[in-house]
C-alpha cells in the first residue's frame, strides 16, 4: 500500500503535468494596509479550486478538520491562515503563491501594505506582468496607493487592475466607485500614457465580481477579476529582445571543458551564433548549449543553460554574454531612479555595494538631482532620500558594467544597493542611461608617475588621517607633526577642516549629507597629493566610519594611516577653544558632532593618541616613531 506522502506527491506531479502547457501570468496584489489583499488572495485560491503546492499536507489536514471534501477548504479558514502568516512576520519577505484555472497558471506575489515593507512590494513587482491595486471603497486613494502605483509603473508594469474593494460596506453605491476611478485615472495620466487600467468594483469577502458577475452591481458591465486575469495578454518582450545572459558561474570540471552557466535574461541563442562578452568586448561564437538533459539546438529567455565558446575568451562571473550585433552598453556613470528602503537616509557621496545580476561593484550616488513627490509626481529639491522616498540621481561606479536601460530590459537594467557594513539591502534602482562623459573620459597615461615623484622627494607618500571630536587637538598635533617632518626635509601638506571650508568646501553645511560630501572631496584631494609623492596630514572630525573607510580604500596599500585623537567629550568641551560647544549647547549651532550629531569612533586605528596624558609635541614624536619603525620615512 502506498504511503500517503507518495500519493500526495503523485497528485502534485499529475496536477503540474496537466497544466504544463498553459501560459503563466505573474501578478502582484498591492495597496495600503487593510485594503483586503489577504481576503482577495484567499478568495482567488478558494474559488479556483487550487492546489497549494507548499501547503498540501496542511490543506488535507484542515479539510478533514472542517469536514470538507476534495481539494477545497473552508474560505474563512484559508483567509484566517493568510492573516496568521502576516501576524507571524512572514510579510517581511514576499510570499509567492501558485494556483491554476482551466485557462492559465498564475503566480501571485503576496506583499504587505505597511509602509515599512514597501521594499517587499517593490521586490514582488519587479517580475510581475500585472498589478492588482486594491483600494478600500470607504477610504479612497491614499498616499500608499499612489506610491505602489508609481513603483509598479517605474518597474515596468503597464497593466493594472484598480480593485475597488469592500463595496459591500458602501452599499454597492456606483457613485463611490466612479469617484475613485476618476481620481485614480487623473493620477495615472501623470504616470504615462501607455498605462492600461481596468477598474472593477468588488467585495473580496462576499465574492462580488471575483470569479462570477455580481447581481449586486447591475450597473457594472466589465469583466470579473478572474476573467481579466485569464485573458490579459502576457508579453514581457523578453523573447523578442536581443540576447543577454549574465554569467553566474564558470563551469570547468576538467581541462577539456569550459562553460559559462547562467539564466538567459532575454532573447534566443543557438550554436554558431556570434556573441560578445562584456565589459571586455571580446567576440566569439557559441559552440554548444549544454543542459542536464543534453545539448539544445536553441535556448530562450528564462532557461538556465551552460554555453561553450569556440575560442578561448576570458569571461568571468558577472560578465554578460550578448548578441554581437546588438550588444549591451558598458559604462560606469549613469542617471538612475532609486527607491530608498532603509531607515537611515541615503547620503550622496557615501559608498555602497551595487549588485546588478551576478556583478557586484562599489559605487556612490554623487549627485541627487531631485526627489519625487509621490502625491503629485512633481519634482522637488532634495539632498537626501529617506525611507520609501524616490529620487533621480547621478550614480558613479568604481568599474564599468554591462547594462541596458531598465525600460528596455528589466533584468539587465535593475540593481540593488547594499550597505557595506551591515550588508542590508538599502535601495532599489533602475538605470535610465549612461552619462555621455563616462564613455568619453579616460585616464591619461603620464610618463612621470607617482613612484617617480616620490623618489624625487626621497620619501614614501602617506596620508595621515587625524580624526576625533572638535577640540580634541587634531589640528594642533598635525601642525606640530608637520614642523618636525619639515625639519627632517620631508615634503608635506596639511589639509585642515576649517581651512578647506573657506575654499573647496565653502558651499557645504554640517548636515550628515554635507559631511559625507565634505570627506569625499577631501579624500580625493588627499589621493592626488599622495600621487604627487607628498606626506599629507588630514585633520577633519570625519565622524562616520563609512567615509573614513572610503578614504582608506582610495589609497594604495599601507599608505593610509588612521590616527584617532581619543579625547573624552567632557575634556574636549572643557577646552572649547573656539567656543563652539557653548554655542551648540545654546542651540545656536545645529548638527554638532558629539552633541546632536553622532561620532563613530575608529575601532582599529593604526595610532591612538590620548591627549589627556600627552602634549601635542609628545603626540607628534609618537607618530614619527611609529612611521620610522615601518620604514615610512625612508627615501
Digit-coded pLDDT (tens) for 376-391: 888 888 888 998 889 9
Question: Rounded to an integer, what distance in angstroms lies between the CA atom of residue 10 and that of residue 33?
Answer: 39
Boundary residue ending a domain (323, 339, 374): 323
* Per-residue DSSP letter, 194: T
What's the rounded Cα separation, in Å, for the pair 218 and 177?
A: 13
Measured distance CA(76)–CA(264) in Å, rounded:
41
Can you tell me the distance from the alpha carbon of 69 to that of 47, in angstroms, rounded to the nearest whole number? 14
Same domain, 181 and 39: yes
Full DSSP string of 211-276: TB--TT-TT--S--HHHHHHHS----STTTSPPEEE--EEEEEETTEEEEEEE--BSEE-TT-EEE
pLDDT at 76: 52
Instruction: Decide if 537 is inside a domain.
Output: yes
DSSP label of 346: B
400 and 463 share one domain: no
Q: For residue 565, what is the DSSP state?
A: E
Q: How far apart are CA 353 and CA 417, in angstroms?
A: 6
Residue 396: phi, psi to the nearest 5?
A: -120, 135
Quick one: cell of 25?
A: 501570468
3-state DSSP call for residue 463?
A: strand
Cα(27)–Cα(397) distance, rounded to whole angstroms? 33
Q: How far apart are CA 414 and CA 425, in angstroms?
A: 14
Domain boundary pick from 231, 262, 287:
231
d(CA 152, CA 124): 9
By C-alpha distance, which of 18, 159, 139, 37 is closest to 91? 37
Burial class (CB in 10 A: 0-12, 13-18, 19+), 606: middle
Question: Looking at the domain assignment, is residue 238 inside a domain?
Answer: no
CA atoms within 13 A on the CB side of 620: 19
Instruction: For Cα atoms 215, 217, 221, give the angle at the middle one, nearest 5 degrees.
Output: 100
Counting the structural domains of the chain, the total is 4
Does some domain include residue 485?
Answer: yes
Residue 635 domain flag: no
**Cell numbers for 110:** 503576496
User: Is 542 an annotated catalytic residue?
Assistant: yes
One domain for residues 14 and 98: yes
What's the chain's Rg over C-alpha atoms? Answer: 30
Torsion, Cα of 541, 546, 551, 553 (10° steps): 150
- Asked whether residue 295 falls in the same domain as residue 213, the answer is no
Give the residue carrying C-alpha cell 594604495. 556
Cβ neighbourhood burial of 189 (10 Å; 0-12, 13-18, 19+): exposed
SS3 state at 135: strand
Low-confidence residues of the chain: pLDDT under 50: 1-10, 12, 50-73, 77-79, 81-92
Q: Are residues 414 and 455 in the same domain?
A: no
Are 276 and 391 in a shared domain?
no
Where do we find the cell 573647496?
504
- Residue 280: phi and psi, rounded to 5, are -65, -35
> Which pLDDT score is estimated for 42?
83
Contact in structure between 537 and 494 (CB atoms under 8 Å): yes
449 Cβ neighbours under 8 A, 6+ residues apart: none
Q: Which positions ≥6 away from 442 have C-beta within 8 Å?
A: none
Say whether both 255 and 148 belong to one domain. Answer: no
- Look at phi and psi of residue 285 and say left if phi exceeds 0, alpha if psi is from -120 to 50, else beta: beta
Could you tell me the CA-to-CA distances from 9 to 4, 15, 105, 114, 216 in Å, in that order? 9, 10, 19, 36, 42
67: left (phi over 0), alpha (psi -120 to 50) or beta: left
Provide the CATH number for the domain around residue 306.
2.40.30.10
Both 51 and 199 in a single domain? yes
CB-based contacts of 28, cutoff 8 Å, min separation 6:
108, 109, 111, 121, 124, 125, 128, 130, 131, 132, 152, 157
Cis peptide before 215 (omega within 30 of 0): no
Please check whether residue 237 lies inside any domain of the structure.
Answer: no
Length of the chain: 635
360/317 same-domain check? no
Residue 550 lies in a domain: yes
Pair 467, 563 in one domain: yes
Question: What local confidence, expressed as pLDDT, does residue 91 receive?
Answer: 38
Q: Which domain holds residue 263?
A: 244-323
Q: In whole angstroms, what is the distance from residue 607 CA to residue 619 CA?
A: 10
Which tens digits make up the pLDDT trace of 593-622? Answer: 888 888 899 989 999 998 888 899 999 999
Single out the residue in 323, 349, 384 at which a domain terminates. Answer: 323
Q: Are residues 488 and 624 in the same domain?
A: yes
Task: Evaluate whether 354 touches 360 at the Cβ level (below 8 Å).
Answer: yes
Indicate which residue of 530, 542, 597, 615 is catalytic.
542
350 belongs to a structural domain: yes
Residue 189, SS3?
helix
Q: Which is it for the CA torsion 62, 66, 71, 72, positive or negative?
A: negative
Answer yes or no: is 445 within a domain: no
- The C-alpha torsion from 258 through 263 and 264 to 265, rounded to 10°, is -140
The CATH code of the domain that includes 196 is 3.40.50.300
- Of 116, 129, 103, 109, which is closest to residue 21 (Cα–Cα)? 103
**pTM for the whole structure:** 0.64
Let me know whether 226 and 194 are in one domain. yes
> 551: which 3 cell numbers?
578614504
Contacts of 278-281 spanning 24+ positions with Cβ under 8 A: 278/319, 278/320, 278/322, 278/327, 278/328, 278/330, 278/402, 279/319, 279/330, 279/399, 279/400, 279/401, 279/402, 280/313, 280/314, 280/315, 280/319, 281/330
**317-336 burial: b if 16+ Cβ within 10 Å, else e:** bbbbbbbbeebbbbbbbbbb
d(CA 560, CA 602): 14
Residue 542: name the closest of 625, 469, 616, 433 by CA.
469
Q: 387 CB contacts (<8 Å, ≥6 apart)?
A: 115, 116, 118, 340, 341, 342, 343
Amino acid at each position: 500500500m502506498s504511503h500517503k506522502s507518495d500519493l500526495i506527491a503523485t497528485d502534485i506531479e499529475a496536477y503540474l503535468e496537466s497544466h504544463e502547457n498553459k501560459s503563466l501570468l505573474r501578478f502582484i496584489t498591492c495597496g495600503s494596509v487593510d485594503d483586503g489583499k489577504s481576503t482577495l488572495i484567499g478568495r482567488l485560491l478558494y474559488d479556483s479550486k487550487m492546489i497549494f503546492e507548499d501547503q498540501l499536507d496542511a490543506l488535507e489536514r484542515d479539510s478533514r478538520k472542517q469536514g470538507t471534501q476534495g481539494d477545497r477548504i473552508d474560505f474563512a479558514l484559508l483567509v484566517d491562515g493568510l492573516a496568521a502568516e502576516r501576524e507571524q512576520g512572514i510579510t517581511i519577505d514576499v510570499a509567492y503563491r501558485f494556483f491554476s484555472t482551466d485557462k492559465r497558471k498564475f503566480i501571485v506575489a503576496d506583499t504587505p501594505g505597511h509602509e515599512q515593507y514597501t521594499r517587499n512590494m517593490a521586490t514582488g513587482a519587479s517580475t510581475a506582468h500585472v498589478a492588482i491595486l486594491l483600494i478600500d471603497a470607504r477610504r479612497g486613494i491614499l498616499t500608499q496607493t499612489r506610491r505602489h502605483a508609481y513603483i509598479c509603473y517605474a518597474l515596468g508594469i503597464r497593466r493594472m487592475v484598480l480593485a475597488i474593494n469592500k463595496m459591500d460596506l458602501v452599499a454597492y453605491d456606483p457613485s463611490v466607485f466612479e469617484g475613485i476611478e476618476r481620481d485614480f485615472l487623473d493620477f495615472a495620466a501623470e504616470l504615462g500614457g501607455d498605462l492600461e487600467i481596468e477598474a472593477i468594483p468588488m467585495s473580496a469577502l462576499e465574492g462580488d465580481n471575483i470569479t462570477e458577475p455580481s447581481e449586486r452591481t447591475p450597473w457594472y458591465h466589465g469583466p470579473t477579476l478572474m476573467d481579466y486575469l485569464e485573458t490579459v495578454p502576457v508579453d514581457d518582450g523578453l523573447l523578442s529582445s536581443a540576447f543577454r545572459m549574465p554569467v553566474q558561474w564558470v563551469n570547468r570540471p576538467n581541462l577539456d571543458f569550459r562553460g559559462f552557466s547562467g539564466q538567459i535574461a532575454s532573447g534566443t541563442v543557438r550554436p554558431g551564433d556570434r556573441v560578445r562578452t562584456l565589459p571586455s568586448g571580446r567576440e566569439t561564437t557559441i559552440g554548444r548549449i549544454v543542459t542536464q538533459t543534453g545539448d539544445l539546438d536553441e535556448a530562450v529567455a528564462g532557461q538556465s543553460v551552460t554555453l561553450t565558446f569556440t575560442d578561448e575568451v576570458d569571461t568571468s562571473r558577472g560578465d554578460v554574454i550578448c548578441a554581437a550585433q546588438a550588444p549591451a552598453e558598458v559604462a560606469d556613470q549613469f542617471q538612475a531612479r532609486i527607491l530608498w528602503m532603509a531607515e537611515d537616509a541615503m547620503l550622496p557621496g557615501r559608498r555602497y555595494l551595487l549588485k546588478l545580476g551576478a556583478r557586484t561593484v562599489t559605487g556612490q550616488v554623487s549627485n541627487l538631482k531631485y526627489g519625487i513627490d509621490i502625491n503629485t509626481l512633481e519634482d522637488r529639491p532634495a539632498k537626501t532620500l529617506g525611507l520609501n522616498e524616490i529620487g533621480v540621481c547621478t550614480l558613479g561606479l568604481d568599474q564599468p558594467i554591462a547594462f541596458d536601460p531598465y525600460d528596455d530590459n528589466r533584468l539587465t537594467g535593475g540593481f540593488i544597493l547594499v550597505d557595506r557594513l551591515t550588508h542590508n539591502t538599502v535601495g532599489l534602482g533602475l538605470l535610465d542611461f549612461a552619462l555621455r562623459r563616462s564613455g568619453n573620459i579616460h585616464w591619461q597615461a603620464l610618463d612621470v608617475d607617482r613612484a617617480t615623484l616620490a623618489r624625487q622627494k626621497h620619501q614614501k607618500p602617506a596620508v595621515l588621517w587625524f580624526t576625533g571630536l572638535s577640540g580634541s587637538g587634531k589640528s594642533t598635533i598635525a601642525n606640530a607633526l608637520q614642523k618636525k617632518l619639515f625639519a627632517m626635509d620631508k615634503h608635506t601638506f596639511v589639509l585642515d577642516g576649517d581651512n578647506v571650508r573657506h575654499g573647496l568646501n565653502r558651499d557645504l553645511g554640517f548636515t550628515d549629507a554635507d559631511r559625507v560630501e565634505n570627506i569625499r572631496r577631501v579624500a580625493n584631494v588627499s589621493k592626488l597629493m599622495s600621487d604627487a609623492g607628498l606626506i599629507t596630514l588630514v585633520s577633519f572630525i570625519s565622524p562616520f566610519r563609512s567615509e573614513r573607510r572610503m578614504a582608506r580604500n582610495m589609497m594604495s596599500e599601507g599608505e593610509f594611516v588612521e590616527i584617532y585623537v581619543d579625547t573624552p567629550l567632557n575634556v574636549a568641551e572643557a577646552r572649547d577653544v573656539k567656543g563652539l560647544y557653548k554655542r551648540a549647547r545654546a542651540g545656536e549651532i545645529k548638527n554638532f558632532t558629539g552633541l546632536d550629531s553622532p561620532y563613530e569612533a575608529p575601532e582599529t586605528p593604526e595610532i591612538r593618541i590620548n591627549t589627556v596624558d600627552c602634549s601635542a609635541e609628545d603626540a607628534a614624536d609618537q607618530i614619527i616613531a611609529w612611521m620610522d619603525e615601518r620604514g615610512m620615512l625612508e627615501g
